[in-house]
Amino acid sequence: MAIKEIERKPLSLAEKTYLPQIVSGLKITLKNIFRPTITLQYPEERPEIPENYRGVPTLVKDPNGREKCVSCQLCEFVCPPKAIRITPGELDGEGENAHVEKGPQEFEVNMLRCIYCGYCQEVCPEEAIWLQDVFSASGYTREELVYKKDKLYELGGTLPDNHYKWDKKKSAEEAGNAH
């Protein structure tokens, strides 16, 4: 099989001196010099956060300040990178939470592993996990980025709850006497 050689046309004087390439590069540079800057000065200026943004997963409390999490561990099982770890604990059978069987003794979210997928919020039956619009999780050590239960409640705060899941259900007798 014979290989056919292709003849190149000779370069012109402008092509030999690279003038067209230099001029096109300068044209792009001059066009960008006179554009307004779009750089944000980060800590002082924050970008607009979209409405459906999935940020840091946090734990929230109900309007009465009670924990919503019942340690069902669905969020732990559904988490693709296994960033959530829950240790369920027994609750005392007295007081306002007497009808609740268990709650989280320990709750950790490893932000180094979290991929902000939002599965934990979607699967939570008690609406205890919410993805907040916090987008910068930083720390000096790896341990600082493993958020414990206290830190998760601090970031999450209290959200309004229209379901009042934690309020003890009235028995049929109490409901009949109330009318």
Structure tokens that stand for 53 in this block:
């943004």
pLDDT digits (tens, 9 = 90+) for 6-63: 888 888 887 788 888 889 999 999 998 888 888 888 878 888 888 888 889 999 988 8
Least confident of 37-41, 69-73, 83-87, 107-111: 37-41
Non-local CB neighbours of 88 within 8 Å, separated by 6+ positions? 71, 73, 102, 103, 104, 105
Per-residue model confidence (pLDDT) at position 98: 60
**CATH architecture assigned to 57-156:** 2-Layer Sandwich (3.30)
Nearest CA-CA partner of 85 in 104, 62, 64: 104
Query: Rounded to 5 degrees, what angle do the CA atoms 142, 145, 147 make?
Result: 135
pLDDT digits (tens, 9 = 90+) for 150-172: 999 999 888 877 666 666 555 44
